Amino acid sequence: MTQANHVFIITLSIIALGFLLKKYGFIKEEEGKTISKFLMHTTFPALMLVSMIRVELTPSLFLLPLFCIGFCGLMLTVAWFWFGTYSNELRGVLTMGAGTANVGLFGFPIIEGLFGKEALVYAVMYDIGNTIIAFGIVYPLGSYIASSGAKAVDWRMILKRVFSLPPFLAMFVGLTINLLNIPIPKLAMDGLDILATANKSLVLLLMGLYLSFALDKNKLKAISKVLAIRYGVGFVAVTALYFLLPADSQMRSVLIVCVLLPIGMTILPFSDEMNFDSRIAGTLLNISLLISFALMWGVVVLLGLR
């Protein structure tokens, strides 16, 4: 069994375990929100911090957030015009669904398993762009659609929300420590490593808790258009990355996986806040999770990414 197959089978097994724990009543889906908050304030920031502290920073790394912003911005632009004739409620959730990726909760454990911890720095830098898109473009865009363009976007509130996110703060602190070469006691690093290691299994169990096969069939046609945008543009990006970047580049492998990631989970709280249809958001998340998992597995094995 190849390393890629091993990683995806283990990943699928842990996700399935989380789903079965929910299905048979050992853990409720509502309790997933508590686990999610725990991850966002402990293991996830720890993973961000140790990844940024240990990476050897090069100018090319700072192009990754820009690549993510351009990639997601292209999908958002297509969605903005394609869904222009839809009702605001439907247009809002579909447009937001085209714009972000589930990098931290879904991408990190798979990338770590496939390429090692050292590869996480590329995913972290990509996620900086993803965070900027989510809170700097997708959130205000959804707010604009929800208010029919009548209400001004509160940029101060959005910036405050972005900069108060524990993973984002951890990225900033890690970058600062790295750039200034600030020494960290071994005891502190060992503690952070333990927390960071726990992130992978907890995240995959959480994905299983949120997994659902209850689909909103009446909206599948509209949902399929979002998926067509994401994976159509995604495959164009995969082709460009594969042929334009060096074959032995680990950054190329990580980016190829990143552009095939499922829709970001921020669409759920955003949809709730803006009174969009949360059932459509949930259906988008679940279908994209299954499609992305299959596509990533196939692409990694087919292209021999390592």
Residue 55 pLDDT greater than 70, yes or no: yes
Instruction: Label each residue of 67-81 as H, E or C.
Output: HHHHHHHHHHHHHHH
How many whole angstroms separate alpha carbon 94 and alpha carbon 102? 16
> 258-279, pLDDT tens digit by residue?
999 988 877 877 777 777 877 7
Q: Which two tokens stand for residue 259?
A: 């552009």
The domains of the chain are located at 3-303
Q: pLDDT tens for residues 133-181?
A: 887 788 888 888 887 755 566 667 766 766 777 877 887 888 889 888 8
Domain 3-303 has CATH 2.60.40.2550: no
pTM of this structure:
0.80
Phi-psi region of 2 (alpha: psi -120 to 50; beta: other; left: phi over 0): beta
Q: What is the pLDDT of residue 228?
A: 94
Where does residue 112 rank: exposed (0-12), middle (13-18), buried (19+ CB within 10 A)? buried
